[in-house]
A and B are shown apart, each in its own frame.
Chain A
Amino acid sequence: MHDRPTVDELLRAVEMLLDEQLVPTLDGSRKYNARVAANVIRIARRELQHEETQLDAEWRGLDMLLAPAARPATLAATKQQLMERNRELSERIREGDADGGRFRELTLAHVREVVHAKMEVSNPEWLATG
């Protein structure tokens, strides 16, 4: 257990530095990159906030499509195995399993949920504008 500030609180300090002190004083490509950097910090903060629940939802979604499996105990192992399971799903789509029928419906619903989760982290405004 680390001391305060938490990771989120530390990142918030960097975000404020970029937004409030650096962006207004810079020009041209430096200003642009400082803006991009502030946005990158916001992405990182949202990912940390949602990571646990999003990985869990993706795991359970894949259980509906592939052979169900027990989720590993650590986040790192979960991510590693999600990569493998997504490879398996990709392989099945390539082979035509999701061209029609029930498996297509389930696959589209699952992939849409996962991409929605990615957008909640990378670009929530996009989802808001329909």
Chain B
Amino acid sequence: MADDELARGIEAFIARETGASAVRVSELRRLTGGASRETWSLDATIYRAGGAETLALILQRDVRGAPKELTRPMEFQLMKAAFDEGVHAPEPLWVGDELVGAGESFFVRRVDGETLPRRLLREDVYAQAREALPEQLGRLLAQIHAIPVEKHGLTSLPAPPAGVSPAVHEVERYENIFRMIAPEPHPAFELAFRWLRQHPVIAGATAGVPATARTLVHGDFRIGNVLFGPEGLRVMLDWELAHMGDPMEDMGFICVRSWRFGGPKPVGGIGDREPFFAAYEEAGGGKVDPERVRFWEVFGNLRWGIICLSQARTYLDGVSKSVELASIGRRTAETEWELLELISS
């Protein structure tokens, strides 16, 4: 679909959704980032009898054939729940249909701000944001984990089978994916799988959260999915990997070294673990078990490594021609390097 054709499709879609007499789309452009789906930014001017109103919008659209965990309508419903509960999430407006493309899609209200971690880490204008974010993210995460899923009809989110701990479920799930898709053997990943399976979180009882406790988990909680301004957090993006699981999973994932972008500190390159954990607990997020977080950090590195393999796979299988996806295959080694550091210390 050409850009012009997409603009006309969006106009027809919004006119139908809002009952407007006419809609004009301007400033339509595709944003960078997002390997399995497209993110478009646009302004839509909506003409009604009483006058005109311009909405700043983001359209997220699946690349057809891209792997995904949540359907777009499900992700939409989840973000709606988060937004309604006062969580810093974008405001969802409409689920799209064939007028805006063959893949699934939705529209949210656009929030101004920056998402590039390298800017956050290096630019003077974000000094205050660097200071504020670790604690803001701790509080945000406590809010996300407290979202009442049943109240919002989110009972069909992916979840471990009854009686199976989230840790066992996630490790098995990713091991299966790894065995299916890896084009070559990875001894470092085999060592990491052994380490995870022998860790007390899986191999025995642990203090704190019972092995089968589960909450809503964001599933992609990393600094690259934070939209920020000079003052700090604005909204959390990309809810498509959300599922029911161990709340410590999100805390471990944001510490994965690939998400530090060269920054010196463990939490997204900008914060230490302790203030992040403390802010989470103070905001009602429950007791943090650092050993459990460490388990999920190891898992997070392994998981990101397997996602690298799967993204490269879409290029190797001819599903995508993207040079970005092809090159991600070579980022697998970063996660192997970090895993070896973590499991042998």
Main secondary structure, interface of B, reads helix
Decide: A118 and B190 in contact? CB cutoff 8 A: no
**A87 on the interface (CB 8 Å rule)?**
yes
Question: 1/0 per residue A89-130: CB within 8 Å of B?
Answer: 110011010110000000110011011101101110111010
Partner of A37, one of B32, B323, B344: B323
A93-B187 Cα distance, complex, nearest whole Å: 7
Decide: B32 and A28 in contact? CB cutoff 8 A: yes
**A77 on the interface (CB 8 Å rule)?**
no
**B151 on the interface (CB 8 Å rule)?**
no
Q: Hey, which chain B residues are within 8 Å of A49, CB to CB? A: none
**B8 on the interface (CB 8 Å rule)?**
no
A51-B22 Cα distance, complex, nearest whole Å: 61
Main secondary structure, interface of A, reads helix
Q: Hey, which chain A residues are within 8 Å of B186, CB to CB? A: 86, 90
**A29 on the interface (CB 8 Å rule)?**
yes
Decide: A86 and B184 in contact? CB cutoff 8 A: yes
Report the contact-size class of chain A (Cβ under 8 Å from the partner). 35 or more
Decide: A87 and B185 in contact? CB cutoff 8 A: yes
Question: 1/0 per residue B314-335: CB within 8 Å of A?
Answer: 0000000011101100110110
Partner of B327, one of A40, A98, A114, A115: A40
Residue of B nearest to A65 (CB): B187
Q: How far is the CB of B136 from chain A (nearest CB, A)?
A: 26
Decide: A93 and B190 in contact? CB cutoff 8 A: yes
Decide: B334 and A111 in contact? CB cutoff 8 A: no
Q: How far is the CB of B209 from chain A (nearest CB, A)?
A: 27
Q: In chain A, residues 23-54, which have Cβ atoms closer than 8 Å to a Cβ of chain B?
A: 28-29, 31-33, 36-37, 39-40, 43
Decide: B333 and A29 in contact? CB cutoff 8 A: no
Decide: A108 and B344 in contact? CB cutoff 8 A: yes
Q: Hey, which chain A residues are within 8 Å of B333, CB to CB? A: 115, 118-119, 122-123
Partner of A119, one of B30, B190, B193, B334: B334
A-B contact pairs, 9 of them (CB 8 A): A28-B30, A28-B32, A86-B186, A111-B187, A115-B333, A115-B340, A119-B337, A122-B330, A123-B330
Residue positions of B touching A, CB distance < 8 A:
29-33, 184-188, 190-191, 193-194, 198, 262, 322-324, 326-327, 330-331, 333-334, 336-337, 340, 344
Decide: A86 and B187 in contact? CB cutoff 8 A: yes
**A16 on the interface (CB 8 Å rule)?**
no
Decide: B330 and A93 in contact? CB cutoff 8 A: no
Decide: B327 and A39 in contact? CB cutoff 8 A: yes
A83-B184 Cα distance, complex, nearest whole Å: 7
Q: A28-B32, A40-B323 are in contact. Are A108 and B331 (CB under 8 A)?
A: no
Extra contacts besides A93-B187, A99-B194 (7): CB < 8 Å:
A28-B32, A29-B31, A83-B185, A90-B186, A98-B194, A108-B191, A115-B336
Residue of B nearest to A27 (CB): B29
Residue of B nearest to A39 (CB): B327
Decide: A90 and B344 in contact? CB cutoff 8 A: no
